[in-house]
Amino acid sequence: MKGVRSIIKSEFPSHLKEDVKTVAAYLSQELSEGIRHGISEQYIEMRLLDGEKIRFPYRFYFKDEHVTFPAEFTKEQRCIYHCIYTRHYNGYIREKHVTSLLLEYPEELPDWVCSYLLSLSGEYIMEILERLYEMLSPRKNETIQAMSQMNSQQFLYIHDRMISYWNEFYRGRCPRYKQYIGKKLFEVCYGYTRRMEKQRIFVVEA
């Protein structure tokens, strides 16, 4: 079984290599109770604005995070830690670390942080979408919108997932999609427009 420390080296840009090593040494290697595999088989790949690719698991299942950081952790190291825990299986933990990330960067976000926030936006917990919209909508969001364009196929897939979860879980609470927080998040904060659908590539199986 791969431990979380063995896979995070591909989750962040190369210039953060030493910071990643520091954070990795702090992570739990103990699986949560009743869990046999620590890392999901599904991965998400994103291209950063300089062309470098990062790749991180859809979910991991290690024990809950530490309550406090070592005093010597830098801002980048704290944010690496927060990004990792946005992939945690516990939705409350994901939401907490999303909030922490956005508080660490009150203005423009680094592109590698944007990768994690975009990926999280296609998931099923409406409260996380609400928190993202609440904290991102007052900002310019130029980097996250550039990342949406850079990763247009992945972005459109994430957008589709958001709509599917609205239809499956939240249509009763919010019957009109135009009023759904996910739609607002993608359009106001991420720059989604119908014109982006023209960039979609359909793969036809032989």
Give me the chain's average pLDDT, please.
87
Position 2 confidence tier, pLDDT thresholds 50, 70, 90 = very low
Q: For 11-66, how does the pLDDT look when each residue is reduced to its tens digit (9 = 90+)? A: 899 999 999 989 888 876 655 544 444 677 788 999 999 999 999 989 887 766 66
Confidence of residue 9 (pLDDT cuts 50, 70, 90): low
172 three-class SS: coil
In this predicted structure, the answer to whether residue 112 has a pLDDT above a threshold of 70 is yes
Mean pLDDT of 118-143: 96
- Is 60 exceeded by the pLDDT of residue 165? yes
DSSP result, 108-162: PPPHHHHHHHHHHTTSS-HHHHHHHHHHHTTS--HHHHHHHHHTHHHHHHHHHHH
More confident residue, 178 or 71: 178
* pLDDT for residue 6: 58
Helix, strand and coil content of the chain, in percent to the nearest 5, comes to: 55, 5, 40
pTM over 0.85: yes
1 confidence band (pLDDT: 50, 70, 90): very low
Helix (H, G, I), strand (E, B) or coil at 10: helix
| Buried b or exposed e, range 159-176, using 16+ CB within 10 angstroms | bebbeebbeeebeeeeee
**Domain segments of the chain as ranges:** 4-199
CA distance 47 to 58: 16
For 78-105, what is each residue's pLDDT tens digit?
999 999 889 988 899 999 999 999 999 9
